[in-house]
């Protein structure tokens, strides 16, 4: 009898561990998404501030011929792009079929973990 109870208890603790692991992965994913959206927010806020203040001070600053007119936008934009790839993966184009495949994948993964 003790052996059966111990196996059930072990199985129960493994399921609880897996549930906790799933929760921590989801929490990590949420932090990654939140970090990306804050990064994007500050990118937009700072670049809008730079562009508007430069236009007010000197309207010729943002002449296409001057690299410093758009260097912040370009280089920080490259950083935003890399950050987006690390957060969202290589499949940044979120088509409906891609979403459906991802949902099915997560459902199947969760079914396997809870069984």
Q: If you search the block for the tokens 């990118």, which residue do you land on?
A: 43
Question: Quick check: 85 pLDDT over 90?
Answer: no
Q: If you search the block for the tokens 């072990």, which residue do you land on?
A: 10
Q: What is the largest CA-CA distance in the chain?
A: 85
Mean per-residue pLDDT, 71-97: 82
| Higher per-residue confidence, 109 vs 79 | 79
pLDDT band at 104 (very low <50, low <70, confident <90, very high): confident
Give the domain extent around 66.
Answer: 2-114
Question: How many domains does the chain divide into?
Answer: 1
Please provide the size of the chain in residues: 115
Spatial distance between the Cα atoms of 77 and 42, rounded to a whole number of angstroms: 11
Per-residue pLDDT of 15-72, as tens digits, reads 776 778 888 888 888 999 999 999 999 999 998 988 787 777 776 555 555 667 678 8
Q: Give Rg (Cα) of the chain.
A: 24
């Amino acid at each position: 009898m003790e052996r059966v109870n111990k196996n059930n208890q072990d199985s129960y603790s493994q399921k609880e561990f897996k549930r906790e692991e799933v929760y921590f992965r989801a929490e990590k994913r949420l932090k990654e998404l939140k970090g990306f959206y804050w990064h994007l927010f500050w990118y937009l806020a700072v670049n809008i501030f730079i562009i508007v203040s430069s236009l007010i001070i000197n309207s010729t600053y943002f002449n296409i011929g001057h690299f410093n007119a758009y260097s912040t936008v370009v280089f920080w934009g490259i950083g935003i792009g890399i950050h987006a790839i690390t957060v969202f993966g290589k499949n940044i184009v979120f088509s409906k079929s891609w979403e459906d495949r991802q949902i099915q994948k997560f459902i199947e993964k969760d079914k396997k973990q809870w069984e």
